[in-house]
């Protein structure tokens, strides 16, 4: 089949007025807070330790929308993007204005009808006014774009907390039993982990105990990825005060923890998780945030050791070990030089979100440039990178006790620097290709990007791979879909968004 039958090409927009060239080292701020100007309204964080935000093109119109779960006394918020990076709060109009003390939210196709449904997760941590009896809520998207609550019928209507101090830890979605539909992995701090297996019709049954992964620990964010390359999704799970878990899928419906053998079993205060190819060697590395202390606890950068299921911890060597009281984090090539930069929230009192500029092109690791980049958000938790305004670069959205902050990327890359966005899509029950890997092939390097549904902390980033291309004129791209198929696109031009549908 000819290449053009697989691709929908959307050209990148030209740079807008008010932006500037350069880098943080040249004195000009990189990000500008624009939330109120773009339509973001006041927000109430659920009492407790953290909360997240979901960024996805839920309505399929090509731009990225935001869903913000709110605490008791405030309805959840749905910000629909008008295509220019301005948002219209529309939760009440579509039936998502629930007051449920939610912390986490995630878009996925629960019932296999091709559109995205919404899962929210909440708890009653430190909240005497909370009366909820269900930790999960599933909202099915209907043909007219509105939503209805199908929690009970989907088998998700039970309280998953086991004591008053139980706190949502994180949630992720993927095809964990390789049957083509999407399953839910949700976990709690001072609580259990639950694996809800999808029956193919949008009804879920908890199989966590029989799968061997329902432990009572201080769980935080999981990510789902095929870590050992055997065609089955595995689970990395950040754990507070105890060793992290790397649950390797055995292919028979069970999981075995291989964190000690893989070298990712640190027992610090691990919370937020990102998966990214920061060193452009073709494999995916893990970054896990912690509460930095002078007694040896710090963020962890697990560098993948080639094809082996083994990682080296290199955070101090790379200069990214300290982001204060770390929660959400995200890698993004904000200047399109081909190297992923890093942002990480800091919830310590008065703590700024930290920004680390990737200097590996000169062999020097990362440089923290927080004071010069213009991210003035304090006490942040959830953090995501997304292209708000369709101009080709990635902006940031952060939640904190201060509210939702949206930071516009104002940096025009040096002349000749391009970008490429790949949106892998599938027919069937996993339309946004959760679990896929997109690899850029350019100049003898391979740069991988994972399509995840759930990362950072209680958050979700768009199901797309964004690459800065530097001065590359043409590149090749390989897409590995979660069903085992793959496709290579040759001589792809820069500065465009490609939607690629699996054959």
Q: What is the DSSP string of 28-59?
A: S-SEEE-TGGGT-----PPSSS----EEE-TT
Listed range (270-279, 368-377, 421-430, 450-459) with the worst mean pLDDT: 368-377
Residue 1 pLDDT > 60:
no
CA 323 – CA 320 distance, rounded (Å) = 7
Of 253 and 376, more confident: 253
Q: What is the model's pLDDT at position 299? A: 92
Check whether 342 has a pLDDT greater than 50: yes
Q: Which pLDDT belongs to residue 494?
A: 97
Question: Could you tell me the pLDDT band of residue 132, with boundaries at 50, 70 and 90?
Answer: low
- The predicted pLDDT at position 49 comes to 85
Q: Kindly tell me if the per-residue pLDDT of 5 is higher than 60.
A: no
CB atoms closer than 10 angstroms to residue 74? 19
Indicate whether 209 pLDDT > 80.
yes
Check the CA dihedral 127-129-132-138 and report its sign: negative
Residues whose CB falls within 8 Å of the CB of residue 293, separated by 6 or more in sequence, listed in order: none
Residue 4 above 50 pLDDT?
no
> Which of left, alpha, beta for 294 (phi over 0: left; psi -120 to 50: alpha)?
alpha
Q: Cα separations (Å) of 146 from 115, 116, 127, 235, 395?
A: 12, 11, 30, 32, 28
- Percentage of residues in the chain with pLDDT exceeding 70? 92
Q: Domains along the chain?
A: 31-409 (2.130.10.10), 418-501 (2.60.40)
111, 201 Cβ separation under 8 angstroms: yes
- pLDDT of 7: 44
Beta bridge partners of 352: 378
The 3-state DSSP class for residue 372 equals helix
What pLDDT was estimated at residue 217?
Answer: 87
Q: What is the pLDDT of residue 24?
A: 55
- Local structure of 402: helix, strand or coil: coil
Average pLDDT of span 150-167: 89
Residue 13, pLDDT > 50, answer: no
Specify the pLDDT at position 350: 66
pLDDT at 326 over 90: no
pLDDT for position 337: 94
| Pair 406, 33: CB distance under 8 Å | yes
**DSSP element (H, E) containing 208:** helix 208-211
User: First-to-last CA distance in the chain?
Assistant: 9
Q: Is the pLDDT of residue 348 over 50?
A: yes
Tell me the C-alpha distance between 377 and 348, whole Å. 12
Q: What is the pLDDT of residues 47-90, one digit of tens each?
A: 888 899 999 999 999 999 999 999 888 999 999 999 999 999 99
More confident residue, 122 or 363: 122
pLDDT of 27 over the 80 cut: no
DSSP string, 55-101: EE-TTSSSS-EEEE---TTS--EEEEE-SSS-EEE-HHHHT----S-
Evaluate if residue 148 carries a pLDDT over 70: yes
- Two tokens, residue 114: 């091709």
pTM of the model: 0.94
Query: How many C-alpha atoms does 87 have within 13 Å on its Cβ side?
Result: 27
List, in sequence order, the alpha helices (H) in 76-157.
91-94
Give the C-alpha separation, 149 to 259, whole Å. Answer: 37
Distances (CA, A) of 325 to 23, 131, 294, 373, 378: 26, 30, 13, 19, 11
pLDDT digits (tens, 9 = 90+) for 219-261: 999 999 999 999 999 999 999 999 999 999 999 889 999 999 9
- In whole angstroms, what is the distance from residue 46 CA to residue 401 CA? 9
Q: Is 200 helix (H, G, I), strand (E, B) or coil?
A: coil
Where are the extended beta strands (E) located within 199-291?
204-206, 219-225, 234-239, 245-249, 255-257, 273-276, 285-288
Eight-class DSSP state of 173: E
pLDDT digits (tens, 9 = 90+) for 438-468: 999 998 999 999 999 999 999 999 999 999 9
**Token pair 């299921």: residue:** 309
Instruction: Express each pLDDT in 257-289 by its tens digit.
Output: 999 999 999 998 899 999 999 999 999 999 999
Using the predicted structure, report yes or no on whether residue 401 has a pLDDT greater than 70.
yes
Average pLDDT for the chain = 90
Query: Across residues 364-388, what is the average pLDDT?
Result: 88
Q: How high is the pLDDT of residue 380? A: 86
Q: What is the dihedral of CA 314, 217, 49, 247, to 10 degrees?
A: 50
For residue 25, what pLDDT is reported? 53
């Amino acid at each position: 089949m000819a290449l053009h039958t697989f691709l929908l090409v959307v050209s990148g927009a030209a740079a807008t007025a008010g932006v500037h060239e350069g880098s943080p080292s040249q004195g000009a701020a990189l990000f500008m807070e624009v939330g109120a100007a773009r339509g973001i309204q006041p927000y109430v964080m659920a009492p407790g330790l953290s909360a997240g935000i979901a960024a996805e093109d839920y309505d399929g119109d090509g731009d990225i929308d935001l869903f913000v779960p709110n605490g008791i006394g405030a309805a959840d918020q749905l910000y629909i993007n008008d295509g220019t990076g301005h948002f219209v709060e529309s939760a009440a109009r579509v039936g998502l204005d629930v007051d449920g003390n939610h912390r986490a939210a995630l878009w996925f196709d629960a019932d296999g009808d091709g559109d995205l449904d919404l899962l929210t997760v909440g708890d009653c941590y430190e909240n005497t006014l909370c009366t909820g009896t269900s930790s999960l809520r599933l909202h099915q998207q209907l043909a007219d774009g509105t939503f209805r609550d199908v929690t009970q019928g989907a088998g998700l209507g039970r309280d998953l907390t086991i004591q008053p101090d139980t706190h949502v830890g994180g949630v992720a979605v993927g095809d964990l039993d390789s049957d083509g539909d999407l399953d839910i992995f949700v976990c709690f701090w001072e609580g259990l982990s639950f694996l809800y297996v999808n029956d193919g019709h949008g009804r879920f049954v908890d199989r966590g105990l029989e799968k061997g992964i329902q432990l009572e620990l201080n769980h935080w964010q999981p990510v789902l990825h095929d870590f050992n390359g055997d065609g089955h999704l595995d689970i990395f799970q950040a754990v507070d005060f105890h060793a992290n878990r790397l649950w390797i899928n055995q292919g028979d419906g069970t999981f075995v923890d291989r964190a000690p053998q893989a070298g990712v079993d640190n027992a610090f205060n691990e919370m937020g998780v990102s998966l990214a190819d920061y060193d452009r060697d073709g494999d995916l590395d893990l970054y896990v945030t912690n509460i930095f202390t002078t007694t040896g606890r710090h963020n962890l950068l697990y560098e993948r050791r080639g094809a082996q299921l083994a990682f080296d911890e290199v955070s101090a060597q790379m200069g990214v070990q300290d982001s204060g009281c770390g929660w959400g984090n995200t890698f993004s090539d904000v200047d399109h030089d081909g190297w992923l930069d890093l942002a990480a929230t800091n919830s310590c009192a008065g703590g700024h979100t930290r920004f680390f500029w990737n200097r590996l092109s000169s062999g020097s690791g990362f440089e923290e440039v927080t004071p010069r980049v213009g991210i003035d958000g304090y006490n942040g938790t959830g953090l995501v990178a997304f292209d708000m305004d369709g101009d080709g670069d990635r902006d940031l959205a952060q939640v904190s006790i201060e509210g939702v902050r949206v930071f516009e990327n104002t940096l025009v890359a040096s002349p000749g620097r391009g970008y490429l966005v790949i949106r892998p899509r599938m027919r069937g029950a996993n339309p946004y290709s959760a679990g896929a890997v997109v690899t850029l092939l350019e100049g003898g390097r391979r740069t991988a990007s994972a399509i995840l549904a759930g990362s950072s902390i209680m958050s979700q980033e768009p199901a797309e791979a964004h690459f800065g291309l530097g001065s590359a004129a043409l590149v090749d791209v390989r897409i590995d879909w979660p069903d085992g198929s793959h496709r290579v696109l040759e001589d792809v031009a820069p500065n465009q968004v490609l939607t690629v549908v699996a054959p």
